[in-house]
Amino acid sequence: MITKEQKEKIELENKKIADNISHIKHRIVVFSGKGGVGKTMVSVNLSYGLHVHGYKTGILDADITGPNVPKMTGIQGEVHISGNKIIPQESHGIKVISMANLLPPDQAVIWRGPLRSKMLNQFLGDVEWGNLDYLIADLPPGTGDEILTIAQNMDPDMAIIVTTPQELSLIDSVRAISMAKKMNIPNIALIENMSGLICPECGHRIELFGIGGGKKQAEEMDIVFLGAIPINLEARKLADEGKPIVIENEEADISVTIFHIVKKIENMFNKNKKALMS
């Protein structure tokens, strides 16, 4: 049982978070039922896709023990503090905050759930996000503490679950979708990643992990299917160099798909806005 003092402290922290993120129009969480599905790649390129379309965007790397967003965005160096605010770093106009830039590169984060959740609350309440159209939170895989913390305190208006067409991945993504529903996130959508590979030599499409599983699952779970993102060798290489493919090669098949997904997200929120006004 918590004491009165602890309750007041929690209420103050929640108010600080709510005030700090009140200038962010849309807050989207990206997560998956299992690792290895390319969730961070989706988060990063979706954020830059939104930015290319003229939106002010930020990325919150919520994977405290395995932060990879700085690597994929080319961000290096330490995070700075101004007054009582953490100043997010920027890459190509995108604001980014990550645990990776708060610790030495070789240091492991061996923290229990409560400490990880406390760090996420700092990312929400103490980072100077400013006015944003979209804040994308890249969550760790699974359905653990971090997702509960973000869902409760970030108050997201959309959850995007990332899966591959492979049956094993789809089994786990069902759990992620169910969790998003239980957390009462108003808009829930699914992206099928690693959906086929175009051979660079002959142009033949290879279905490495199967085909159509994500769309079928979205229909069965009664959520929105945003699209199927293909495997792209150039995107993998650019990610290792800290260069999101959507800004390096807008004509690539993966970039075109990301931009289609951005348009669908725009339409979803515009539709919701019209419904509220009617």
Domain CATH code at residue 260: 3.40.50.300
Q: Sign of dihedral through CA atoms 179, 175, 137, 268?
A: negative
* Calpha distance 149→220 (Å, rounded): 28
Flag whether 248 is in a domain.
yes
For the record, the structure tokens of 265 come out as 């997200």
- On the 0-12 / 13-18 / 19+ scale of CB atoms within 10 A, 238 is buried
Flag whether 2 is in a domain.
no
Q: Sign of dihedral through CA atoms 178, 179, 184, 189?
A: negative
Flag whether 1 is in a domain.
no
For the record, the structure tokens of 35 come out as 């690792």
pLDDT tens, residue order, the chain (278 aa): 678 787 888 888 889 999 999 999 999 999 988 888 999 999 999 999 999 999 999 999 999 888 999 999 999 888 888 888 999 999 999 999 999 888 776 777 777 778 888 899 999 999 999 999 999 999 988 777 788 888 889 999 999 999 988 777 788 899 999 999 999 999 999 999 988 777 666 766 777 666 778 899 999 999 999 999 998 989 999 999 999 999 999 999 999 999 999 999 999 998 876 666 65
Q: Give the pairing of strands 197-198 and 205-206.
A: antiparallel
Flag whether 143 is in a domain.
yes
Helices (H), 24-166: 39-52, 69-73, 113-125, 145-153
- On the 0-12 / 13-18 / 19+ scale of CB atoms within 10 A, 15 is exposed
CB atoms under 10 Å from CB of 214, counted, come to 29
Q: Sign of dihedral through CA atoms 130, 99, 153, 72?
A: positive
Residue 65, pLDDT score: 85
* Calpha distance 42→30 (Å, rounded): 8
Flag whether 107 is in a domain.
yes
Residue 143, pLDDT score: 72
Strands (DSSP E) contained in 119-237 are: 132-138, 158-163, 188-192, 197-198, 205-206, 224-228
- Angle (CA) 202 203 204, round 5°: 95
* Calpha distance 161→191 (Å, rounded): 6
For residues 94, 187, 144 and 209, what is the CA-based torsion angle, rounded to 10 degrees?
A: -80
Residue 102, pLDDT score: 82
* Calpha distance 71→243 (Å, rounded): 9
Backbone angles phi, psi at 205, to 5 degrees: -85, 130
- On the 0-12 / 13-18 / 19+ scale of CB atoms within 10 A, 200 is exposed
The whole domain housing 238 covers 14-277
Residue 78, pLDDT score: 82
As for how many domains the chain has, the answer is 1
Which amino acid is located at 224 in the chain? V
Flag whether 203 is in a domain.
yes
